[in-house]
Amino acid sequence: MPRKKHVRLTFFLVLFSLLVQPLAFGKAGGDSGAKTFMWEVSSGTATVYLLGSIHFANASFYPMAPAIEEAFAAADNLVMELDPLAIDQAEMQRLVMEKGFYPEGQALDGHLSPEVMGMLKVYLLKNHMPAEGLMRMKPGMVAITLTSLQFMKMGYLPDQGIDMYFARKARGVKPVIELETLEYQLGLLLDAPDEELFLEYTLRDLETAEQMFQAVIDGWRRGDTGAVNELVVEQYTRVPELGPVMDRLFFHRNETMAARIRAFLQTDETFFVVVGAGHLVGERGILKLLSDGGYSVLQQ
């Protein structure tokens, strides 16, 4: 199984944030005066441009809307969750094998409930996928692999993602600052105590992924943060058993990233920050955290 393509899903994290991401792109048409999914945050001395990201994309996304391209050009620094061009591939493979696969003699069906194992078998059968290649994977790794395959089937590729696009544009031109580490991001999904729950809800969402993806695209193109928040964050937040998952994958990370951005705003430089769009929206999103801190936050 071509694992290198699959594990790239960890740059962008989980089905929840992936389903938010088709961007306001230059070739997509629409009102040229429409808002993008980018915000300008300013202090007395610094400017931060905050852009929601899609980690799987295609060629139709480029070039980005002029406001986005101009903000990137004006920035002194590019800030990302992870720099995909700086990943140590050998270290990534080591961590994936350590965190994402069972040791010899153990298998997935020995760790999943009969209910979730049944859901997985039904999904694989329906999609004409063999189960053998997944049986040594832990539940989080199965969720990552199936989600990656679904997005690639829909025509969205990690090598054409927004993160990769700006990483390439910045190479040799601007410093790149990482907000997180590869080991941390992998641990969010592969060392989690609720991996089975994550796989269960991933399997449920994959059944309607294309419809949900289109609904988010429509909200995104309108610059409708309410619609994106409902589809990507709020519908899961209302499920009590998913509380720890949402805290780990979104809300705790939002607070940490907002703190880093507040530090950028104390400088005299300009920063172009690219993070998964699900981290920006909602009452516990980065935009609200910065606004509550007294900063001017303006949608572009």
Given a cut of 70, is residue 2 above it in pLDDT?
no
Assess whether the previous peptide bond of 158 is cis (omega < 30° from 0): no
Residue 80's alpha-carbon distances to 11, 50, 206, 271, 275, in angstroms, are 10, 10, 27, 10, 6
**pLDDT tens column, 188-210:** 888 877 889 989 999 998 988 88
Q: What is the per-residue pLDDT across 211-239, written as a single tens digit (0 to 9) for each? A: 887 777 777 777 788 988 998 889 889 98
- For the chain, first and last CA: distance in Å? 42
CA distance 148 to 13: 11
Question: Mind listing the pLDDT tens digit for each residue in 253-296?
Answer: 999 999 999 999 999 999 999 998 889 999 999 999 999 999 99
In the chain, where the domains are located: 3-299
